[in-house]
Amino acid sequence: MEVKKKNAIDCLINYLHEFIDQRNWHSAHVSFKIKNSSCWTAQHYLIFDNEKISEGGFSNSDDSMFSGMDAATFLCQQHELHSNVAVNYVHFTLHPDGYHELRFDDAKPVAPDAPPQDASGGLSIAQQLATFEEAAATILSPLETWLKQYLPEVADSLQPGATARQLQNYANKLGVVLPQDFVHLYHWHNGQKGKAAGLFYGMHLMSLKASLAACEQERRYWQTYCDAESREKYPDHASSTPSGHIRVQYCNPYWLPFAHDHAGNYLGIDLSPDSQGTAGQVINFGRYEDHKKVLANSLGDFLHWLAAQWQAGNTSVRREADGGRSFNTRWPDKRHFLDSVKLMFLHDGSTLAPQQGESAPQNEAGYLESGQVLRNRMAHMAADELGLTAQSRWQLNIQTGTVTFTTAQGKLLHCQAQILGRYHPAQGQLHWAWDQSEWPLDMLCAARALQDEGTRHTWPRFTTPRVACSEAEAWNLVAAACHGDDVEGLFRATDGDSVLYLGYLTQY
């Protein structure tokens, strides 16, 4: 342990020497703000003759900071291990004579906004398990039967179910009362093993142990990051729909994950809902999930929805380069379920029921109809999540392949851009972007994907360079691009006497 600690300090010393080497310096100082193991910032100061001459900021995008950050993280972990107090900052100062100082700023615990709610119906875990066989026959066993027929490797990856004692220990450690459908799910199977595709459209069922570890990490994040200043900024970095159902927060200690993508993003149950929400509702959250949605009022409702989607044929199983198989939605044709969620779960405020029984379109008419559905959904999504409306200003940069939107509130949105087509009202024609030489090839991926889809199914309106149609029909044609992964949203941009249809991705 002491050897590792010494190596960490040596690493920080070497890191600072990179900045002060061959300078007539007095001392150097580096401060790391620790958010979690993969989210941090750092500030360094170079001090000459007791006067600060230079300062600069770095983030985890700077390769030069990795070794210093690794060392700082290790030292913080050791400090927390011995003091049982989480850390916000670690400060390291190096003096000319080689003497160094190490100081930690302990984080002050922040209490959650509200205690967890009891969604158990007043039943103990033993009482909940008394109805397990009935629940299994209704939904869990049919799910497993489908998996054995179509994805046997996923069925084989499911672990044996958790015992009542394991479930109670999990609840006790988190200080919560578990809802019955959560208990039933984990008594059915306690997670997945191996490299098979995830049960939930590629997202893996987590074991209780993995879920507990993720909860503890979220709680540590809450303690160390959620100071008063940061919490005031939450509304700028988090949003949710429907309004009033999920607390507008980046993280919450009572969001319990049951599925993950191995990249810090989760499906989970919410035991601390907002005023209009339901304890036990299923939501998305995690590293890249700033916008949360209610996917179902309960885990049981979500599992019923999942079974309905599978039975309706809304599944896509692909053979990957490594020989394994991926499992995704067929409609929308996305490679990550949380990308599909954005289109599959939109709420008009009058109901929390997700869209039911929607399967992939089988013909050109169906594809166009689905384009209209996508267009309407994405308009709501853009307005709810991004503040993006038809009145938003736009600026395209073909050198970088990006578009910058300015909302009515003055917010700037920098997105990766795809050019789908241009509509000419005077001619009543949609001119597909793949037939236009002015655009770089990497901005035509979505348009070419539609052309390929049209070629595969012999759909002439997707393969004819210029299509005679109304603007409403043109909208539906280009909106079909949102079935794929290259486009997350659509924008109708007035460009002179024509209309340019842009697809965008907000994360790139």
- DSSP class of 383: I
C-beta of residue 239 within 8 angstroms of C-beta of residue 291: yes
Mean pLDDT of 28-40: 52
How many residues comprise the chain?
508
C-beta of residue 25 within 8 angstroms of C-beta of residue 48: yes
Asked whether the predicted pLDDT for residue 273 surpasses 90, the reply is yes
C-beta of residue 299 within 8 angstroms of C-beta of residue 179: yes
Token code pair at residue 321: 């380069």
C-beta of residue 445 within 8 angstroms of C-beta of residue 430: no
**pLDDT for position 216:** 84
Token code pair at residue 471: 């603007």
From the list 338, 366, 308, the residue with the least C-alpha distance to 488 is 338
Asked whether the predicted pLDDT for residue 381 surpasses 80, the reply is no
For residues 12 and 34, give the distance between their C-alpha atoms in angstroms, rounded to a whole number: 15
Alpha carbon separation from 422 to 37, 172, 372, 387, 404 (Å, rounded): 46, 59, 18, 24, 19
The helix/strand count (H/E) of the chain reads as 17, 20
**pLDDT for position 508:** 45
**pLDDT for position 142:** 93
Backbone φ/ψ region at 20: left (φ over 0), alpha (ψ -120 to 50), beta: alpha
Mean pLDDT of 250-256: 88
Asked whether the predicted pLDDT for residue 108 surpasses 50, the reply is no
Distance in angstroms between the alpha carbons of the first and the last residue of the chain: 40
Phi, psi of 264 (to 5 degrees): 90, 15
66 sits in which H/E element:
helix 66-83
- Max Cα-Cα span within the chain: 79
* 57 or 133: which leads in pLDDT: 133
C-alpha 22 chain-centroid distance: 45
For residues 163 and 169, give the distance between their C-alpha atoms in angstroms, rounded to a whole number: 10
**pLDDT for position 169:** 94
**pLDDT for position 126:** 93
Token code pair at residue 50: 């007791």
Q: What share of the chain is helix, strand, coil (3-state, %, to 5)?
A: 40, 25, 35
Token code pair at residue 16: 């600072």
Reduce the secondary structure of 154-199 to three states and give it as a string. Answer: HHHHECCCCCHHHHHHHHHHHCCCCCHHHHHHHHHCCCECCCCCCC
C-beta of residue 124 within 8 angstroms of C-beta of residue 67: no
From the list 389, 297, 309, 318, the residue with the least C-alpha distance to 344 is 309
Lowest-confidence range among 102-111, 205-214, 257-266, 443-452?
A: 102-111
Asked whether the predicted pLDDT for residue 56 surpasses 90, the reply is no
Q: Please tell me whether the overall predicted TM-score, pTM, comes out greater than 0.85 for this model.
A: no
**pLDDT for position 39:** 42
From the list 299, 256, 306, the residue with the least C-alpha distance to 281 is 299
From the list 293, 270, 50, the residue with the least C-alpha distance to 182 is 270
Phi, psi of 197 (to 5 degrees): -60, 155
pLDDT confidence band for 78 (50 / 70 / 90): low
Task: Tell me the per-residue pLDDT of 282-293, one tens digit each, with 9 for 90 and over.
Answer: 999 988 887 888
The residues near 372 (Cβ < 8 Å, ≥ 6 apart) are: 475, 476, 479
Burial of 507 (0-12, 13-18, 19+ CB in 10 A): exposed
Chain mean pLDDT for the chain: 77
Phi, psi of 387 (to 5 degrees): 75, 20
For residues 175 and 177, give the distance between their C-alpha atoms in angstroms, rounded to a whole number: 7
From the list 394, 278, 288, 277, the residue with the least C-alpha distance to 338 is 288
Q: Percent of the chain beyond pLDDT 70?
A: 65
Phi, psi of 59 (to 5 degrees): -130, -175
Asked whether the predicted pLDDT for residue 244 surpasses 70, the reply is yes
Going along 78-142, which residue ranges are E strands? 87-94, 100-106
The residues near 97 (Cβ < 8 Å, ≥ 6 apart) are: none
* 15 or 252: which leads in pLDDT: 252
Lowest-confidence range among 205-209, 284-288, 344-348?
A: 344-348
**pLDDT for position 409:** 74
**pLDDT for position 339:** 82
Mean pLDDT of 171-184: 95
